[in-house]
């Protein structure tokens, strides 16, 4: 089973309206693989702050309802994605590239 580091921008596509979101279909396909236990996700520690920032920016721009922002974060946290320090992700990726 593959282990995938998920970026906050990918996760945001699972919640934001698909209209105007590039690569939304690919993001949903990736989540579908996760739901079918075909892949596992981990997220860097900054993921949660970055996700919240993307969602709140969409709220400020009128692309996402304010009342749905908290629900999106709550929904995402229920998945309990393993969260690892960002430096660990970087070090692991550098080691694999050698």
d(CA 3, CA 64) in angstroms, rounded, equals 30
Q: What is the pLDDT of residues 65-87, one digit of tens each?
A: 999 999 999 999 999 999 999 88
- How many Å is the maximal CA-CA distance in the chain? 46
d(CA 17, CA 69) in angstroms, rounded, equals 12
The pLDDT value given to residue 40: 96
Annotated domain spans of the chain? 2-97
Strand partners, 39: 2
CATH architecture of 2-97: 3-Layer(aba) Sandwich (3.40)
**pTM for this structure?**
0.84
């Amino acid at each position: 089973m593959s282990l995938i580091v998920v970026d906050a921008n990918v996760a945001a596509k699972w919640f934001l309206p698909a209209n105007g979101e590039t690569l939304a279909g690919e993001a949903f396909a990736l989540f579908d693989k996760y739901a079918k236990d075909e892949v596992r996700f981990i997220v860097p520690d900054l993921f949660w702050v970055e996700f919240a920032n993307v969602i709140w920016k969409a709220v400020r721009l009128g692309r996402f309802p304010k009342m749905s922002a908290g629900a999106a974060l709550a929904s995402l946290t229920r998945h309990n994605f393993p969260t690892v320090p960002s430096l660990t992700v970087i070090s692991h990726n550098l080691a694999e590239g050698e």
